Amino acid sequence: MAQTLYDKLMAAHVVREEATTALIYIDRQLIHEVTSPQAFEGLEIAGRKPWRLEASLAVPDHNVPTTDRASGVGGIEDPISKLQIETLDKNCEEFGINEIQMNDIRQGIVHVVGPEQGATLPGMSIVCGDSHTSTHGALGALAFGIGTSEVEHVLATGCLWQSKSKNLKIEVNGELNEFVSAKDVALYIIGQIGTAGGTGYAIEFMGETIRDLSIEGRMTLCNMAIEAGARVGIIAVDDKTLDYVKGRPLAPSGSEWDKAIKYWNTLHSDADAYFDKVINFNAKDINSQVTWGTSPEMVIGIDGIVPDPDKEADPVKSESIKNALNYIHLKANTPINTVNIDKIFIGSCTNSRIEDLRVAASVVKDKHIADNIKLALVVPGSGLIKKQAEDEGLDKIFTDAGFEWREAGCSMCLAMNADKLEPGERCASTSNRNFEGRQGQGSFTHLVSPAIAASSAIAGHFSEVK
């Protein structure tokens, strides 16, 4: 019987099936410092050991400082951040888990490091105590976030009970306009289907627009699948996938590589596979996007107008718009490209890869940030990306333009480290969430692509690339 890619990946990992759930084998668990302490403590209390040590890879990312790290973990000022990273180091050493520590050049955001190291491979089942694990589906993997108790369960057993999702095909065709990126595609889709549009589904992204994306762009798109309500976002394996994986430290080589690609080339939906729902989009309808509210679905084009709750017929939606505008201090009917910004953040597991940095650097080259911009940060997704960018001279382009060039980490994506917004500050951010207080209590987050973040830094307000 014809199968979707999601169905194939699920079937390949089933250990035992029940009426509505299945016990599936987990090939790879990625671990960071925030959701793992209780899991390791649970193992210790129960006297258990990890089932398969080589299945896990740990890296601190949420709490790491992005400024001077010369003093190592001991130099972290915030006591909670320091404790969490010290605890991860201790647990990994005690249990024998492979960890890339804070001052290792390979350190970075877990969802950047996994693919970069070849820990993410096509056909794998991958979990992490982080919702944006969906990122790894860009390589044809079954990847999803789990909770802390599940982190412990996977460490102890190598398996996890899962309910099967329905299949949603989102197809995008046509050529994207210049400076319109995967981030814009993701935000546009979420704006059209809503943050609950993918609930209960595994989303497979298809179409010529998706095939034209780089692997980095595909990771951005799958990263945002969770913001559309889906637990899983996946893209079929093709030559780009194989080229990206080949030669990475943990990727197979020699005869094992030959065996692997034979299987990996089957990782696509069959031509006549059944999808429970199909949605089609035209790339030409997608322009650069900016969120105006407190949810990723509250988004408009860069030339758009902030919605008016009085013009919304649905009373629930009207109230939602009103509440969002009250929080984010915007007035209805305001052109979004007239709104001034205080800070710029280019980074996060969504947009911190070398492709993102190259695009942003091309926009700010030989220019300077506007006088009203208090701070503009560029935070690479890993130490290796940072080095590559420096080898290409991107760091100098950014610093000459008035940006700060930082060490790798989650940084200002979330208010869990030293990089936070102050109350009342407005930020153009390449991250993935704009909930109330996401980047700092009382702060205002607007999600954009790297190109728009860079262009807006130069203009001092939301702006198309000029």
User: Does a structural domain hold residue 331?
Assistant: yes
Same domain, residue pair 258 and 230: yes
Q: What is the number of structural domains in the chain?
A: 2
Domain holding 345, by residue range, is: 289-459
User: Does a structural domain hold residue 252?
Assistant: yes
Same domain, residue pair 189 and 156: yes
User: Does a structural domain hold residue 77?
Assistant: yes
Same domain, residue pair 260 and 381: no
Same domain, residue pair 104 and 126: yes
Same domain, residue pair 308 and 279: no
Phi–psi pair at 322, nearest 5 degrees: -60, -45
Same domain, residue pair 45 and 174: yes
Identify any residues that bridge with 427 across adjacent strands, giving them in sequence order: 343, 445
Could you tell me if 170 and 152 are in contact, meaning their C-beta atoms sit under 8 angstroms apart? no
Same domain, residue pair 34 and 92: yes
Q: Which of 265, 286, 307 is the last residue of a domain?
A: 286
Cα distances from 91 to residues 75, 82, 105, 416, in angstroms, run 20, 14, 21, 21
Could you tell me if 80 and 420 are in contact, meaning their C-beta atoms sit under 8 angstroms apart? no
Same domain, residue pair 393 and 455: yes
Q: Which of 258, 286, 314 is the last residue of a domain?
A: 286
| pLDDT, position 20 | 86
The token duo for 444 is 């205002």
Tens of pLDDT, residue by residue, the chain (466 residues): 999 999 999 999 999 999 889 999 999 999 999 999 999 999 999 999 999 999 999 999 999 999 999 999 999 999 999 999 999 999 999 999 999 999 999 999 999 999 999 999 999 999 999 999 999 999 999 999 999 999 999 999 999 999 999 999 999 999 999 999 999 999 999 999 999 999 999 999 999 999 999 999 999 999 999 999 999 999 999 999 999 999 999 999 999 999 999 999 999 999 999 999 999 999 999 999 999 999 999 999 999 999 999 999 999 999 999 999 999 999 999 999 999 999 999 999 999 999 999 999 999 999 999 999 999 999 999 999 999 999 999 999 999 999 999 999 999 999 999 999 999 999 999 999 999 999 999 999 999 999 999 999 999 999 999 8
The token duo for 169 is 């095909």
User: Does a structural domain hold residue 465?
Assistant: no
What is the Cβ-side half-sphere exposure of residue 123, based on CA atoms within 13 angstroms?
A: 14
In sequence order, which residues have a C-beta less than 8 Å from that of residue 141 and are 6 or more positions away?
Answer: 9, 120, 121, 122, 123, 124, 125, 126, 234
Would the pTM of this model clear 0.95, i.e. be above it? yes
User: Does a structural domain hold residue 313?
Assistant: yes
User: Does a structural domain hold residue 91?
Assistant: yes
Same domain, residue pair 73 and 188: yes
Same domain, residue pair 303 and 351: yes
User: Does a structural domain hold residue 466?
Assistant: no
CATH code assigned at 431: 3.30.499.10
Same domain, residue pair 233 and 253: yes
Phi–psi pair at 116, nearest 5 degrees: -60, -35
Cα distances from 236 to residues 180, 349, 373, 459, in angstroms, run 22, 21, 41, 39
Same domain, residue pair 255 and 323: no
Q: Which of 224, 251, 286 is the last residue of a domain?
A: 286
Q: Using alpha carbons only, how large is the chain's radius of gyration in Å?
A: 21
User: Does a structural domain hold residue 464?
Assistant: no
